[in-house]
């Protein structure tokens, strides 16, 4: 679900919006599912049940890495998680104690792991690591089915992508094929053998044979979510007021159509940007940043029918909040935080939001936020800062009263 090769594209979107408007545009929220969950767990799947103490497997036989410089995290429950670290040549990591210690699961011969490396996690056993080539049009994929004890690898016809697996065999990758002002060519690949082989099912580059404009070249794409093997969404930017860049496929990505999202009076002529939806079964959340004069607000559209319809009302008091990073732990509980002194929490599926004091200011530093459900009912959560100029990042864990404590120096 965190910080891949498409982040520069998203930065370009925000710059374009700023250039075309006099309003101030705060950082666009990045939606991260509780993996999915996927981030991410895969973003479109509910979090896995938390095993009891008697069910929890023994820690993997992997060496520990002292104080790694984390650049990405992906937690499956309150104890088990994956991560990428970029100190030295980098590491692929596992934790079995909530992030206090990290175990080295780095594939042999993987080369340098950096900020453009993509991590996709399905569960504690299944994970994929995509390392882009120098041209970004090729790459190497490393995949494990035993929690990082052993890995397989293969080359890919793409280097960076939004990468999602909905099960141990079925995956999608939305790869960038070239961007220019206000537009971006992409190509969608699919796999049915766990990532060993990939087939191109769609591209919109008019300079290449077989291109389709059902997913327009116009617009910088900022996310992808597949609900199952057939139905998925791509979101992005639109330079047209009142137009929401939300495209849906029902044939696995071969063809796309724009999905209508109703905007209330007063918002129909505003510029907006959706983020990739997150699903828990048929229940889905679609965050939408709306750019108003002098500010931006974040609203949430919801679905109870697997994304067939989306409902929301940004004009209703209590349903719009300040943009930030977003994480849902379950169909009821979600959080939004820009790293500042105020954090937003919902316990009713994004219908209303409550402000909470965090007593920790990470403004301009917050890179990722994750929450997962726990048996006690209070979600477990983590926040990760950006890697600073000194080559350091800080991992925090939520404590009693929704306060943050450092867990990895």
More confident residue, 167 or 399: 167
pLDDT at residue 231 greater than cutoff 60: yes
Contact 228, 169 (CB under 8 A): no
In tens, the pLDDT along 287-313 reads 999 999 999 999 999 999 999 999 998
If pLDDT is split at 50, 70 and 90, which confidence band does 229 have? very high
Residue range 16-25: mean pLDDT, rounded: 37
If pLDDT is split at 50, 70 and 90, which confidence band does 242 have? confident
pLDDT at residue 320 greater than cutoff 80: yes
In tens, the pLDDT along 120-136 reads 999 999 999 999 998 88
Residue range 151-170: mean pLDDT, rounded: 96
% of the chain at pLDDT higher than 70: 85
Q: Which fold has domain 7-408?
A: Methylamine Dehydrogenase; Chain H (2.130.10)
Residue with tokens 């929490």: 345
Domain ranges of the chain: 7-408
Task: Give, in order, the Cα–Cα distances in Å from 283 to each of 141, 243, 328, 330.
Answer: 31, 24, 12, 10
* CA 21 to the chain's CA centroid: 27
Q: CA 285, CA 192: separation in Å to the nearest integer?
A: 27
Per-residue confidence (pLDDT) for residue 59, from 0 to 100: 64
Residues in the chain: 409
Instruction: Give me the chain's average pLDDT, please.
Output: 86
If pLDDT is split at 50, 70 and 90, which confidence band does 168 have? very high
In tens, the pLDDT along 46-88 reads 333 444 444 555 667 899 999 999 999 999 999 999 999 999 9
């Amino acid at each position: 679900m965190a910080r891949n090769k498409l982040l520069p594209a998203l930065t370009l979107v925000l710059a374009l919006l700023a250039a075309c408007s006099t309003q101030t545009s705060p950082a666009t929220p990045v939606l991260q599912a509780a993996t999915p969950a996927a981030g991410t767990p895969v973003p479109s799947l509910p979090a896995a049940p938390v095993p009891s103490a008697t069910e929890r497997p023994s820690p993997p036989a992997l060496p520990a890495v002292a104080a790694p410089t984390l650049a990405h995290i992906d937690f499956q429950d309150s104890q088990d998680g994956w991560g990428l670290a970029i100190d030295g040549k980098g590491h692929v990591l596992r934790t079995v104690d909530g992030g206090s210690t990290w175990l080295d699961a780095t594939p042999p011969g993987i080369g340098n792991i950096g900020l453009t490396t993509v991590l996709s996690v399905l569960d504690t056993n299944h994970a994929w690591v995509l390392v882009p080539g120098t041209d970004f049009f090729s790459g190497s994929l490393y995949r494990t089915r035993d929690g990082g004890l052993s890995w397989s690898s293969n080359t890919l016809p793409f280097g960076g992508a939004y990468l999602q697996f909905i099960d141990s065999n079925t995956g999608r990758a939305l790869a960038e094929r070239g961007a220019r002002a206000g537009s971006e060519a992409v190509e969608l690949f699919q796999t049915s053998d766990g990532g060993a082989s990939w087939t191109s099912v769609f591209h919109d580059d008019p300079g290449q044979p077989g291109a389709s404009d059902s997913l327009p070249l116009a617009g910088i794409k900022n996310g992808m979510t597949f609900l199952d093997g057939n139905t998925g969404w791509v979101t992005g930017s639109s330079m047209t007021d009142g137009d929401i860049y939300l495209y849906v496929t029902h044939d696995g990505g071969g063809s796309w159509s724009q999905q209508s999202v109703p905007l209330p009076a007063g918002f129909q002529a505003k510029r907006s940007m959706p983020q990739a939806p997150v699903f828990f079964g048929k229940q889905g959340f679609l965050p939408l940043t709306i750019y108003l004069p002098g500010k931006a607000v974040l609203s949430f559209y919801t679905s109870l029918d697997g994304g067939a319809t989306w409902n929301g009302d940004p004009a209703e008091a209590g349903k719009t909040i300040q943009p930030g990073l977003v994480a849902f732990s379950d169909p009821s509980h979600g959080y939004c935080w820009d790293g500042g002194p105020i954090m937003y929490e919902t316990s009713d599926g994004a219908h209303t939001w409550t402000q909470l004091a965090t007593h920790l200011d990470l403004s301009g530093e917050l890179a990722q936020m994750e929450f997962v459900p726990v048996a006690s009912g209070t979600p477990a959560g983590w926040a990760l800062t950006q890697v600073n100029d000194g080559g350091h990042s800080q991992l925090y864990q939520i404590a009693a009263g929704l306060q943050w404590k450092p867990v990895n120096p």
